[in-house]
Amino acid sequence: KAGVTQTPRYLIKTRGQQVTLSCSPISGHRSVSWYQQTPGQGLQFLFEYFSETQRNKGNFPGRFSGRQFSNSRSEMNVSTLELGDSALYLCASSLEATRINGYTFGSGTRLTVV
């Protein structure tokens, strides 16, 4: 059974550009959430999608957005990149809405903004 797949693994972008990250959840999982990990702030919740609907969003500016497709794959987009957006972005999937069985994380996308 394939795990959570995130692409690309590494990305270098210039300030002001935009970037799109992709996440394919475990087959059958309908919930996908995104997290940002930085040395200073640690792991922070970005947003969660279930059945193509955003259910909640963390405390991030509107430059951070996401979507989920009918096959549960998800993308997150960051526009007008800032140096502070450099981070490891982690995607997690869960089987059901209550997430009672926990989340399975991907290996992440390492974004560097220069």
- Given a contact cutoff of 8 angstroms between Cβ atoms, the answer to whether 28 and 93 are in contact is no
CB of 56: closest distance to other proteins in angstroms?
4
**Cβ distance to other proteins smaller for residue 13 or 99:** 99
**CB-wise, 77 or 101, nearer to other proteins?**
101
> H-helix or E-strand containing 38?
strand 31-38
Shortest distance, position 16 Cβ to other proteins, whole Å: 27
Smallest gap, in angstroms, from Cβ of residue 108 to other proteins? 5
Residues binding other proteins (CB under 8 A): 4, 6, 33, 35, 42-48, 50, 55-56, 58, 90, 92, 97-108, 110
Query: In the complex with other proteins, which residue's Cβ is closer, 8 or 16?
Result: 8
Q: Is 28 or 97 the residue whose CB approaches other proteins more closely?
A: 97
> Considering only CA atoms, which of 36, 23, 76, 38 is closest in space to residue 54?
76
